[in-house]
Amino acid sequence: MTNEKNGLVSPSFGSHLSAAYIHDVKNLLSLLMSKAESNHDLESIHHLMAADYKLNHLLFLYKSEADMLTLNIEPISPNSFLHIVAANYQSFTLKSIEVELGDDSAMAYIDKGLVELCIGNAIHNAERYAQNSIRLSAREENGMTVLRVRDDGPGFSDEVLSNSGKSILSSSSSSGLGFYLASKIAERHVNKDVHGYLKLLNEEGAVFDMYFP
């Protein structure tokens, strides 16, 4: 099955065995997902999404190590982007995911696939600590777009705050790895020499802010 499916990404990567394996695993996850959805089995969906994140992390790390990660920046509406991400997670969590709508005509310039991965991961993380709700919002700050995920839990630990995704070495936990990737992905967004970045803070709960130029 995998043999006839080569030549998709860059030739060097597409021919790589691991890409083909990941592809097949994703197809299997996809099947499990539709079964879990038909049975309204939220817990399984949860685990499936978590497995998918792990796979994507692996893929991202692999590509960025091999210097094969190119971003596809396109203009998007933050409102509809957050709305879509929230609707997806709301479907399998009992906690409430709310979107604070901003200016409807605002535009952000991001790689929506990669950023969805980061925001999704942040929600996944927030969900473990939130008491009731997770709030998503977008705003503009000094010419940059900020996408925020905030929960009403106890906030990040000091260790997470001081690292803030800067180092992969101290990120033994899976959430640490997620922050590291988010920080890398934000950084890869560049406009006129201004780079994006990740900021973690505590403010009546944990706040995850991704800045994009």
Partner 1 sequence: MIKNKDKTVLIIDDMQVARASLQITMSNLEFGKIRTVATVKEAMEAIAKMDYDVILCDYYMGGSADGQQFLEFIRSKNVIKSSTIFVMVTAEQGYTQVIVAAECAPDDYLLKPFTGAAINARLERLFERNELFADLFKLYDKKNYADAIEACDEIIKGKSQFRIDALRLKGECLLLSKEPLKAIEHFQQILQSREIPWARLGLAKAYADNGDMGKAESVTRSVLRDNPKYMAAHDFLARLLAKLNKKRESLAVLENAARLSVKSVTRQRSIGTLALELGDVNKSETAMMAVIERNKNSPMKEPSDYAILSNIHLEKNEASKALELLKDARDSFKDIFGLDAVALSSAEALVFKRTGNDQAAMKALNNAIEGLQGMENLPETLSLSLAKACLENNKPEQGFNLMKNLLQTNPDDKAKQALVQEAMLKSGVNQTDIDNLIASSIKEVMQINNKGVLLARDGEYEAAGKLLKSAANRVPTNQQFVSNATAILLADLEKNGLDFSKLADAKMYLASLKDLNPSHQKLPTLIETLQRIENLHSLTLQDVSND
**Assigned token pair, 75:** 């203009």
Cβ distance to partner 1 smaller for residue 52 or 187: 52
According to the 3-state scheme, what is the secondary structure of 91-121?
A: CCCCCEEEEECCCCCCCEEECHHHHHHHHHH
Helix/strand/coil for 141: strand
Cβ distance to partner 1 smaller for residue 76 or 146: 76
Supply the minimum distance, in Å, between the C-beta of residue 191 and partner 1: 7
**Assigned token pair, 79:** 């409102």
Supply the minimum distance, in Å, between the C-beta of residue 201 and partner 1: 28
Supply the minimum distance, in Å, between the C-beta of residue 83 and partner 1: 6
Cβ distance to partner 1 smaller for residue 27 or 170: 27
Cβ distance to partner 1 smaller for residue 85 or 206: 85
Cβ distance to partner 1 smaller for residue 31 or 201: 31
Supply the minimum distance, in Å, between the C-beta of residue 43 and partner 1: 14
Asked if residue 149 lies in contact with residue 117, where contact means CB atoms within 8 angstroms, the answer is no
* Paired sense of beta strands 197-202 and 194-195, if any: unpaired
Residues at the site binding partner 1, with contacts judged by CB under 8 A = 4-5, 7-11, 13-14, 19, 22-24, 26-27, 29-35, 37-38, 45, 48-49, 52, 56, 59, 70, 72, 74-77, 79-80, 83-84, 87-88, 90-92, 104-105, 107, 109, 111, 113, 191
Supply the minimum distance, in Å, between the C-beta of residue 50 and partner 1: 11
**Rounded distance between C-alpha atoms, residue 77 and residue 89, angstroms:** 19
Helix/strand/coil for 144: strand
**Assigned token pair, 10:** 């860059």
